[in-house]
């Protein structure tokens, strides 16, 4: 798995006296990354963690069962990839062309970007027939070969998914950074050790210092860390196992 072309930055505020991480300051890109964890199918999570830091839990055995199951046991029109490594097109549309959310578009052998990864839906081959439009409902699927509910034919006519863009009238414009991802980019966000996310303000920072009973401001240290693929995978794993995910990844 190759590294991201450009790593994200994260600023940690550490209490040297108590040897603890108070919180992190993060921008839009890192918050979009964290929020993308919630949209990852379990199958994709298991696959992503398998080679870096195997997850020794029952869901891993379930994943391997599907992986090892012969295609002869799978219903016609379906495939195992929909369970093992299914990422929805709407998720990829949240990414930027220069740097997609790292976990969503990687495979074990290469790095995929929106420029090289296309998402397809499939429609019925009778879609253009005159008879087909005589009051019949039109359908679309993301699994090639699915039987059309209207006529029973295999849905194999490919239609490419097109993400929304900001255009100058020709429909070909690139989406702005603000229009990608989940959150707005004009705000700095505060990320707690347990990955709780809130918009950051001077008042909220002071309130947190009071909450953590920080008496000596001079004992506070700022540390900027870079977040690449390795850190992202560790963070995903820690988010499933620990209430101190940032500490587990960046301070140990």
User: Does the pLDDT of residue 111 top 70, yes or no?
Assistant: no
Burial of 191 by CB count in 10 Å (0-12 exposed, 13-18 middle, 19+ buried)?
A: buried
Distance CA 77, CA 122 (A): 12
Contacts of 230 (CB under 8 A, 6+ apart): 3, 52
20-60 pLDDT, tens digit each:
899 999 999 999 899 888 888 888 888 888 766 666 777 77
Contacts of 81 (CB under 8 A, 6+ apart): none
* Phi and psi, residue 123, nearest 5°: -120, 170
pLDDT for position 225: 95
DSSP 242: -
- The least confident of 103-112, 142-151, 207-216 is 103-112
User: Does the pLDDT of residue 100 top 60, yes or no?
Assistant: no
Q: pLDDT above 90 covers what percent of the chain?
A: 20
pLDDT for position 244: 94
pTM above 0.75, yes or no: no
Confidence of residue 129 (pLDDT cuts 50, 70, 90): low
Instruction: Answer yes or no: are the C-beta atoms of 40 and 233 closer than 8 Å.
Output: no
Instruction: Answer yes or no: are the C-beta atoms of 31 and 183 closer than 8 Å.
Output: yes
pLDDT for position 179: 60
Q: pLDDT above 70 covers what percent of the chain?
A: 68
Torsion of the alpha carbons at 224, 228, 230 and 233, rounded to the nearest 10: 100
């Amino acid at each position: 798995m190759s590294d991201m072309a450009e790593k994200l930055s994260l600023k940690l505020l550490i209490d040297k006296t108590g040897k603890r991480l108070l919180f992190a300051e993060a921008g839009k890109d890192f918050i979009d990354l964290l929020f993308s964890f919630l949209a990852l199918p379990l199958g994709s999570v298991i696959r992503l963690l398998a080679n870096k830091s195997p997850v020794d839990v029952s869901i891993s055995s379930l994943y391997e069962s599907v992986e090892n199951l012969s295609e002869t046991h799978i219903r016609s029109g379906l495939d195992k990839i929909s369970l093992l490594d299914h990422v929805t097109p709407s998720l990829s549309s949240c990414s930027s062309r220069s740097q997609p959310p790292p976990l969503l578009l990687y495979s074990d052998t290469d790095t995929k970007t929106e420029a090289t990864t296309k998402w397809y839906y499939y429609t019925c081959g009778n879609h253009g027939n005159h008879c087909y439009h005589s009051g019949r409902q039109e359908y679309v699927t993301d699994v090639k070969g699915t039987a059309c509910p209207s006529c029973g034919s295999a849905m194999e006519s490919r239609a490419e998914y097109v993400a929304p863009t900001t255009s100058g009238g020709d429909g070909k414009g690139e989406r702005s950074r603000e229009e990608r991802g989940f959150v707005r980019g004009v705000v700095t966000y505060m990320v707690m050790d347990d990955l709780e996310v809130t918009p950051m303000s001077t008042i909220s920072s002071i309130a947190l210092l009071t909450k953590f009973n920080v008496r000596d401001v001079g004992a506070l240290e700022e540390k900027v860390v870079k977040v690449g693929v390795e850190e992202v995978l560790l963070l995903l794993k820690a988010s499933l196992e620990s209430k101190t995910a940032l500490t587990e990844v960046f301070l140990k």
